[in-house]
Amino acid sequence: MRVIVAVLGGGKIGEAIARGLARSDRVRGVYLTRRNPKKLVPAVKKIRVTRDNRKAAAAADVIVVSVKSTDARQLLTEIADLAPGKLVVSVMAAISLRRLEENLPGARVVRAMPNVAASVGHAMTAYAPGSSITEADRETVRHLLGTFGESREVPEHLMDAITALSGSGPAYIAILIDAMVSGALKVGIPRDIAFQLVTRTLTGTAELLREKGIHPAELRDLVTTPAGTTIAGIYELEKGAFRTSIMSAIEAATQAAERVAAKFDDEESR
Ligand SMILES: NC(=O)c1ccc[n+]([C@@H]2O[C@H](COP(=O)([O-])OP(=O)(O)OC[C@H]3O[C@@H](n4cnc5c(N)ncnc54)[C@H](OP(=O)(O)O)[C@@H]3O)[C@@H](O)[C@H]2O)c1
């Protein structure tokens, strides 16, 4: 079946999702909304830009909600009477399936967490299906999320931690890349050469681990020769508590995501 999708909230992530969806033959058209639609210049034939959330939601088979969590309540109220019977995918951090289902009675709801790599078709999106999702919905969701990257179903209780891990992840990786490029500059490698070497080393290493299915520690040992260059580098990383810092960062970000989720949930119960 070919579907029409309404992406409500055409910001950084919403616009990237709309562009991905437009590439699919199974998507007949995409409505993309924001209150100030002049800021959207998608230049893609299949994407119709509008500020009218209700018109977009009414026309759509599938609704994607991609506003900030703080704008969620107003938007969900606006479209609630149009959602029954429709598949709704929320990519908003912090808003639970329970709250989504309460606010959109009769809709079949999925909570998803993509990341900013959606803008180049390489997002990692974790999703948790709501109580009334069917097998056919699951297949539709996997296809739609697949238009802008890879997806994986997860239990909902992991969503705040996943927000901290792969939602925020691109920021950590960007810092790592920046640090490695700075190190390269320090030893005399020009910036453009360093950037290519570092980014390709990062994606290549990730692909190697995935394809061969080996443990990262095994790969580390493979390239670490006694008294060689790699161990000299690793020693400095360990001295700087590199791995502990990253573990603490993910833990702190998870706690922050949980606090935001609890605050939103509290406000909803008032
Ligand atoms: N950015 C990420 O890396 C990322 C990753 C995963 C999940 N998310 C989630 O995705 C959501 C959006 O994040 P973002 O980074 O894309 O934020 P953003 O760039 O601020 O986008 C939100 C968009 O929603 C629009 N908007 C607000 N109220 C609206 C309404 N009532 N009707 C229609 N559009 C409305 C805003 O445009 P106007 O002001 O013009 O209306 C804005 O462009 C958040 O809930 C976030 O948790 C983001």
For residues 182 and 178, what is the distance between their CA atoms, to the nearest angstrom?
Answer: 6
CB atoms within 10 A of CB 256: 14
What lies within 8 Å, CB to CB, of 263 at 6+ separation is: 94
Q: Among the atoms of ligand 1, which is closest to the Cα of residue 12?
A: 16
Mean pLDDT of 110-128: 98
Query: What are 141-171's pLDDT values in tens digits?
Result: 999 999 999 999 999 999 999 999 999 999 9
pTM: 0.95
Q: Which of 5, 117, 18 is nearest to 61 (CA)?
A: 5
> What is the Å distance from ligand 1's center to 20 Cα?
16
Q: In what order do the strands lie in the sheet with 47-50?
A: 47-50, 27-33, 3-8, 62-65, 87-90, 108-113, 123-129, 149-153
Pocket test residue of 71, 168, 172 for ligand 1, highest count of atoms within 8 A of CB: 71
Q: Which residue type is seen at 269?
A: S
Please report the domains of the chain, with CATH numbers, ordered by start residue: 3-156 (3.40.50.720), 167-253 (1.10.3730.10)
For residues 173 and 255, what is the distance between their CA atoms, to the nearest angstrom?
Answer: 20
- For tokens 């969806």, what's the residue? 21
Q: Among the atoms of ligand 1, which is closest to the Cα of residue 15?
A: 16
Q: Among the atoms of ligand 1, which is closest to the Cα of residue 36?
A: 40
CA distances from 160 to 157, 252, 257 (A): 7, 11, 5
Q: Is 61 in the pocket of ligand 1 (CB under 6 A)?
A: no
Query: What are 48-68's pLDDT values in tens digits?
Result: 999 999 999 999 999 999 999
Task: Round the average pLDDT of the chain to a whole number and report it.
Answer: 96
Pocket test residue of 12, 36, 38 for ligand 1, highest count of atoms within 8 A of CB: 12
Report whether pLDDT(42) > 70. no
